[in-house]
Amino acid sequence: MMGSKKILRRPVPVSVPDLGSDYPPLLHRLYAARGVTSEAELRYTLRELESPARLKGIDGAVDLIAAAIRERQRVMIVGDFDADGATSTAVAMLGLSMFGLAGVDFRVPSRFSDGYGLQPGIITRLQEEGGALPDLLITVDNGISAIEGVEAAQALGIRVIVTDHHLPGKTLPPADAIVNPNQPGCEFLSKHAAGVGVMFYVLTALRRHLRETGELDEARQPNLGRLLDLVALGTVADVVPLDHNNRIFVEQGLRRIRQGEARPGILALLEVAGRDHREISAVDLGFAVGPRLNAAGRLDDMGVGIACLLADTRDEALRLATLLDGLNRERRSIESGMKDQAQELLASLSLDIEGLPWGLALFDPDWHQGVIGILAARLREQTHRPVIAFAPGGDGELIKGSARSIPGLHIRDVLAVVDARHPGLLKKYGGHAMAAGMTMAQSDLPAFADAFDEAVRASVSAGDLEAAITTDGPLTSAELNLDTASLLRRAGPWGQHFPEPLFDGEFEVVQQRIVGANHLKLVLRVPGAEQLIDGIAFNTGPSVPDFTGGGARVVYKPDANTFRGRTSLQLLIDYIEPA
């Protein structure tokens, strides 16, 4: 919030596309700066979705599921312990049930005892339970690296479909079918689909197949659109880039939620978060619903989160949402303590910010596996460099790490470089451009930290490590009004790689005060105008420079604030410095 940051302005192409009279000039500029080249990219109807036919492996997956339905086979869904995994599991469970598949169940690995994805231990436990084994196993949001897990299942005669979106390694698992837009040879154009989006596509392809074979008559057409609230939640919570296809998923899901047609669990999670479902945006899914759902997988059992999403009644959903809200409060408390420890660890390095390693690898034996990803993100924001936070792996020798990257640095590619140069240092790793996970021996941490720093230095420049904030430039005094705030809210969905508009400008500070112990409340005047505008900067702490009577450069988002029945413009301030 305070401190010193470079304020960069997002470039706008010289030739701004003509989107037609339905879009005011401000939106023409904002959309152009986000790479939109035609009005077609702003159409968010379901008919604009890419066809599932281009997904490699989808025909084989559909054939296996169709056979399972005809033969009344037992099907097991194996999910993941994050929000994308939870929503993917719920979509698979609900969707397959819509097609009349009765024998479907799910398993989610434990973050602490199993680790990520389809592990052989899951198959072993299915054997030990003594019941009938599944005929078909479907992974959702995982599986592309589960070579041993797939082999263990197949050794017992279980067929395996992998549905995933993570980047594959050099060797693919020997599954009976793989559906992943990022696997080699896949021509599907939207490479950024979340795991929940991939599973939704499998269901749409299944419906088409059953129609063509005559196994699904008009009276039994499942309405898969009823699952789009879950698809939207998983897509936003997994922070995948919002390309056109993902924006369709999110917008369609948001419309259902606003109309009150969402799953009771999603409505309950919004309720415990204090959000009105009729007014929500993608930001609410990312910052209110997603963290509460994720809290189950971080601290306890994601089965609780999935049960909330599958709940059929408001009462049951609200009971589970309240439990998730409590877990999220506990997670925040743990995170706060870990952040204090991390600050002490950084201070012990006796280096200023410029002297820190370019790639930070930090470990504390008291850190919690379920929270290290959030801790890494917080430290990345503070240090402006890629961070990996490690916690004990549970067996006394291994440690598990969670990485968060900076723009322009593909963190999984960096780990691949480290792995190639130092074979055996990393036991396992995987992830995306901005986030990754890994396992290694605690004794190898010093060597890894040096190798990681070296690989980061080879991939970025010093300028990439400078604190910067990118805006869409200023709003004119005529644009600083409630209409603009409403326009921008409706103009989304905004998210990763399609960022919510952020503006900067100079204002006169008429008044300022601290409210609620930690928030800076301001009254601002546009220079040369009489208009007064409220502004608020959250979580600044009580020690704030006095800007009163002078000018300030402010980075902000226009928002509507309703107080005592009166709605007025308020600027949500992301950053402020003396003008």
- Summarised one tens digit per residue, pLDDT across range 4-18 is 788 999 998 888 778
pLDDT at 371: 85
pLDDT at 346: 73
End-to-end alpha-carbon separation of the chain, Å? 15
Q: Tokens in use for 315?
A: 């009462």
Q: Tokens in use for 197?
A: 């989006």
Tell me if the bond preceding 407 is cis, omega within 30° of 0: no
User: Does 1 score more than 60 pLDDT?
Assistant: no
User: Does 394 score more than 80 pLDDT?
Assistant: no
Percent share of the chain, pLDDT over 70: 98
Q: How many alpha carbons fall within 13 Å on the CB side of residue 245?
A: 19
User: Does 351 score more than 70 pLDDT?
Assistant: no
Percent share of the chain, pLDDT over 90: 68
pLDDT for 472-494, tens place per residue? Answer: 999 999 999 999 999 999 999 99
pLDDT for 17-45, tens place per residue? Answer: 788 888 999 999 999 999 999 999 999 99
Name the pLDDT band for 353 (thresholds 50, 70, 90): low
Q: Which amino acid is at 350?
A: S
What is the rounded average pLDDT of the residues 150-176? 95
Contact 54, 193 (CB under 8 A): no
pLDDT for 215-271, tens place per residue? Answer: 887 777 899 999 999 999 999 999 899 999 999 999 999 999 999 999 999 999 999
Q: What is the value of pTM for the model shown?
A: 0.89
CB-CB neighbours of 232 under 10 Å: 31
Instruction: Report which of 348, 470, 449 is spatially closest to residue 406, judged by C-alpha positions.
Output: 470
User: Does 154 score more than 60 pLDDT?
Assistant: yes
What backbone phi and psi angles, to 5 degrees, belong to 197? Answer: -70, -40
3-state SS of 65-79 is HHHHHHCCCCEEEEC
Residue with tokens 């592990």: 119
User: Does 518 score more than 90 pLDDT?
Assistant: no
Q: Tokens in use for 546?
A: 């006095």
CB-CB neighbours of 308 under 10 Å: 28
Q: Does 205 or 364 have the greater pLDDT score?
A: 205
User: Does 172 score more than 90 pLDDT?
Assistant: yes
Q: Does 454 or 335 have the greater pLDDT score?
A: 454
Measure the CA–CA gap between 84 and 429, rounded to whole angstroms: 19
What is the rounded average pLDDT of the residues 190-196? 95
What is the rounded average pLDDT of the residues 42-62? 96
pLDDT at 231: 98
Measure the CA–CA gap between 497 and 196, rounded to whole angstroms: 19
Contact 382, 362 (CB under 8 A): no
Instruction: Report which of 244, 234, 233, 197 is spatially closest to residue 34, judged by C-alpha positions.
Output: 244
Instruction: Report which of 257, 195, 201 is spatially closest to residue 46, judged by C-alpha positions.
Output: 201
pLDDT at 223: 94
Name the pLDDT band for 356 (thresholds 50, 70, 90): confident
Of 176-180, 214-218, 342-346, 455-459, which gets the smallest average pLDDT?
342-346
Q: What is the dihedral of CA 471, 288, 84, 183, to 10 degrees?
A: 0
Measure the CA–CA gap between 181 and 192, rounded to whole angstroms: 8
User: Does 352 score more than 90 pLDDT?
Assistant: no
- Say which residues have a Cβ less than 8 Å from residue 453's Cβ, sequence separation at least 6: 357, 358, 359, 361
User: Does 2 score more than 60 pLDDT?
Assistant: no
Of 43-57, 323-337, 342-356, 402-416, which gets the smallest average pLDDT?
342-356
Residue with tokens 């389809």: 118
Helix (H) or strand (E) holding 554: strand 551-563
- Say which residues have a Cβ less than 8 Å from residue 424's Cβ, sequence separation at least 6: none
CA angle 399, 402, 403 (to 5 degrees): 130
What is the rounded average pLDDT of the residues 421-432? 88
Burial of 278 (0-12, 13-18, 19+ CB in 10 A): exposed
Instruction: Report which of 269, 266, 87, 194 is spatially closest to residue 435, judged by C-alpha positions.
Output: 194
pLDDT for 88-105, tens place per residue? Answer: 999 999 999 999 998 899
pLDDT at 350: 54
Domains of the chain: 49-227 (3.90.1640.30), 349-465 (3.10.310.30), 473-578 (2.40.50.460)
Contact 512, 548 (CB under 8 A): yes
DSSP assignments along 454-468, one per residue: HHHHTT--GGGGS-E
What is the rounded average pLDDT of the residues 398-419? 92
Instruction: Give the residues across from 551 on adjacent strands.
Output: 508
Q: Tokens in use for 286?
A: 């990312």
